[in-house]
């Protein structure tokens, strides 16, 4: 198969209707924070056991097209010795991998950040392919303040996303392009919309400059929401209206799917917001789906708490959250469904 055929095959699998993507690609420090919140030690065995319990949950292929893995997970196995990427493939779920290497300050742009990891990326992708990965993810973050993101921050981050996406496509990997406008701060929904519009505009301009084929990528943006410390929370209808408006202004129709991150929203909140988009604004040029990490995994981790005897309860929590988000993908979610266990 050449790179183009691979891209066609992978994107078709990642955009199947009624499903989304699970982000399970927390880096070592991030999974450490999530584990600490439920009293679990951040050991390699705990990370393996936890991710194995999710991936071996029966029937997840009904709700998921893909799972984004952390590099380490590509080499780990389920309790019966099956490699975890093989476990996913047997469920009909495409394994992907986070390929960025974290972030740090962007010199010249005080307050802004930039992500590392382009060096040797093509060679790393070849290794990840051997281990079963077929798509990739790269995240740039945009802190919001009166000054941030700066024009330089917006340009530099767009350039990184586009260079990453171009390398991926050359290697036959579908890139998930993730520009995350952070929820931290007390800014308004309107300020988030203004920043997000500038960010997405720059990202697609850079993708165009780098000859990235829009038909073979997935956009993973943040929803348009007020900052966490803003005095008033927005309703799902307000979030949906603002988010769809910004996307329509900036995301070309050639992009097949927009899979949102949850970015610190609660599980039911993220589901309700996604639902409001699909229920209130059907018929958009792109699918509107999910690629949540925290908003899917939080209840799973709480139910598990590192104990083997809780594995079945954790699987029930996982399946439930997936079912709710698949309903939101169709615009058929109601908070009343949450009681359904």
From the list 178, 180, 241, 269, the catalytic residue is: 178
Give 210: exposed, middle or buried? Use CB within 10 Å, 0-12, 13-18, 19+.
Answer: middle
Site string for ligand 13P, 78-117 (x = CB under 6 A): ----------------------------------------
Distance set, CA 174 to CA 96, 197, 224 (Å)? 9, 24, 25
Residue partners of 304: CB distance under 8 A and separation at least 6: 38, 40, 50, 53, 310, 311, 313, 314
* Span interacting with ligand 13P, options 2-10, 122-130, 256-264, 274-282, rule CB under 6 A: 256-264
The C-alpha atoms of residue 111 and residue 48 are separated, in whole angstroms, by 35
Closer by beta carbon to ligand 13P, 56 or else 271: 271
Contact with ligand 13P (CB under 6 A) among 292, 304, 318, 333: 292
51 is an interface residue for ligand 13P by CB under 6 A: no
Contact with ligand 13P (CB under 6 A) among 169, 262, 271, 273: 262
Contact with ligand 13P (CB under 6 A) among 48, 139, 163, 329: 139
192 is an interface residue for ligand 13P by CB under 6 A: no
Site string for ligand 13P, 19-48 (x = CB under 6 A): ----x-------------------------
* Span interacting with ligand 13P, options 7-15, 105-113, 233-241, 257-265, rule CB under 6 A: 257-265
Q: What kind and span of H or E run contains 23?
A: strand 20-24
Give 13: exposed, middle or buried? Use CB within 10 Å, 0-12, 13-18, 19+.
Answer: middle
The C-alpha atoms of residue 54 and residue 56 are separated, in whole angstroms, by 6
Closer by beta carbon to ligand 13P, 148 or else 222: 222
* Span interacting with ligand 13P, options 10-18, 163-171, 245-253, 293-301, rule CB under 6 A: 293-301
Does 220 participate in catalysis according to the annotation? Answer: yes
In eight-state DSSP terms, residue 75 is G
Return the SS3 of 180: strand
**Residue 294 Cβ vs ligand 13P, minimum distance, rounded to whole Å:** 3
Closer by beta carbon to ligand 13P, 229 or else 312: 229
Does 44 participate in catalysis according to the annotation? Answer: no
Contact between residue 77 and residue 106 where contact means Cβ atoms under 8 Å apart = no
Q: Which of 94, 67, 130 is nearest to 13 (CA)?
A: 94
Chain residues that interact with ligand 13P, rule: CB under 6 A:
23, 139, 178, 261-263, 292-295
Residues taking part in catalysis: 178, 220
């Amino acid at each position: 198969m050449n790179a183009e055929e691979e891209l066609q095959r992978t994107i078709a699998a990642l955009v199947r209707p009624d499903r989304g993507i699970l982000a399970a690609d927390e880096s070592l420090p991030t999974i450490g924070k999530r584990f600490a919140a439920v009293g679990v030690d951040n050991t390699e065995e705990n990370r393996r056991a936890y991710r194995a319990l999710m991936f071996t949950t029966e029937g997840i292929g009904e709700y998921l097209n893909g799972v984004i893995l952390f590099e380490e997970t590509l080499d780990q196995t389920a309790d019966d010795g099956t490699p975890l990427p093989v476990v996913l493939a047997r469920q009909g779920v495409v394994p992907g991998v986070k390929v960025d290497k974290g972030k740090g300050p962007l010199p010249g742009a005080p307050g802004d950040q930039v992500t590392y990891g382009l060096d040797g990326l093509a060679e790393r992708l070849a290794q990840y392919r051997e281990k079963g990965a077929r798509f990739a993810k790269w995240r740039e973050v945009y802190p919001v303040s009166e000054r941030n993101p700066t024009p330089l921050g917006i340009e530099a981050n767009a350039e990184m996303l586009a260079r990453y996406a171009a390398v991926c496509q050359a290697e036959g990997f579908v890139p998930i392009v993730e520009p995350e406008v952070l929820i931290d701060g007390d800014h308004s929904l309107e300020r988030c919309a203004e920043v997000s519009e500038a960010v997405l505009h720059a990202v697609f301009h850079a993708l165009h400059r780098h000859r990235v084929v829009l038909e073979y990528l997935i956009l993973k943006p943040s929803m348009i929401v007020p900052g966490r410390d803003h005095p008033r929370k927005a309703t799902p209808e307000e979030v949906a209206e603002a988010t769809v408006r910004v996307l329509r202004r900036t995301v070309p129709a050639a992009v097949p799917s927009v899979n949102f991150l949850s970015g610190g929203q609660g599980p039911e909140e993220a589901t309700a917001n996604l639902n409001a988009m699909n229920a209130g604004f059907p018929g958009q040029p792109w699918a509107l789906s999910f690629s949540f990490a925290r908003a899917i995994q939080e209840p799973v981790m709480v139910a598990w708490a590192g104990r083997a005897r809780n594995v079945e309860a954790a699987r029930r929590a996982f399946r439930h959250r997936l079912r709710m988000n698949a309903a939101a993908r169709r615009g058929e979610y109601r908070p009343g469904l949450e009681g359904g266990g």
